[in-house]
Amino acid sequence: MYNVCLRMVGNAVEAEDVMQEAFLKAFTKIDSYEGKVSFGAWLKKIVINRSLDQLKKRKVKFEELNEKIPDEEPVGLEISEIQMEQLKKAIQRLPDGYRVVLNLYLLEGYDHEEISQILGITNVSSRSQYLRAKLKLREMLHKEELFEYN
């Protein structure tokens, strides 16, 4: 859960604070847990919502974009352990909006419809920010000569 917070807010100290708030919220609302989903999924939703609340406090804006999204082409990469650490660091350097959408989609497993509901943006905006995050990340990694793309 800490890693979820850290990926979302991008700062270790803030992530610790968010975790504490999320666990306090979970303990005070434990009677509302109905068992329809696993306890871990219920807790993770609280953690993500608290992380988003923290981003709102920082006045992070999620862009509303209405542009045509090109079809994605899969990119095959062989990633070493060293490159994985550099990749994680590069993701943390992404602008907040891009980083959050990328994390929600790739790492937390939400689809764009769910992300649009969570963040209060359109489905197209979620897809656009995800695409822009990938392009920005690709650009950052290419500059650092970490990966070569086909």
CATH code, domain with 19: 1.10.1740.10
The structural domain count of the chain equals 2
CATH code, domain with 113: 1.10.10.10
pLDDT at 146 over 60: no
CA nearest 60: which of 123, 120, 143?
Answer: 120
Examine residue 68 and state whether it is found in any structural domain, yes or no: no
Q: Give pLDDT, residue 66.
A: 56
- CB neighbours (10 Å) of residue 104? 26
pLDDT confidence of 77, banded at 50, 70, 90?
very low
Same domain, 91 and 45: no
In this structure, of 20-24, 33-37, 77-81, 107-111, the range with the lowest mean pLDDT score is 77-81
Examine residue 136 and state whether it is found in any structural domain, yes or no: yes
In this structure, of 11-20, 53-62, 71-80, 136-145, the range with the lowest mean pLDDT score is 71-80
The CA radius of gyration of the chain, in Å to the nearest whole number, is 16
Per the structure, the complete domain to which residue 136 belongs is given by 81-143
Please state, for a pLDDT cut of 90, what percent of the chain lies above it.
25
Note the pTM of the prediction, 2 decimals.
0.68
SS3 readout for the chain: CHHHHHHHHCCHHHHHHHHHHHHHHHHHCHHHCCCCCCHHHHHHHHHHHHHHHHHHHCCCCCCCCCCCCCCCCCCCCCCCHHHHHHHHHHHHCCCHHHHHHHHHHHHCCCCHHHHHHHHCCCHHHHHHHHHHHHHHHHHHHHHCCCCCCC
Q: pLDDT (tens digit, 9 = 90+) per residue, 107-145?
A: 888 899 888 888 888 889 899 999 999 999 888 888 876
Examine residue 134 and state whether it is found in any structural domain, yes or no: yes
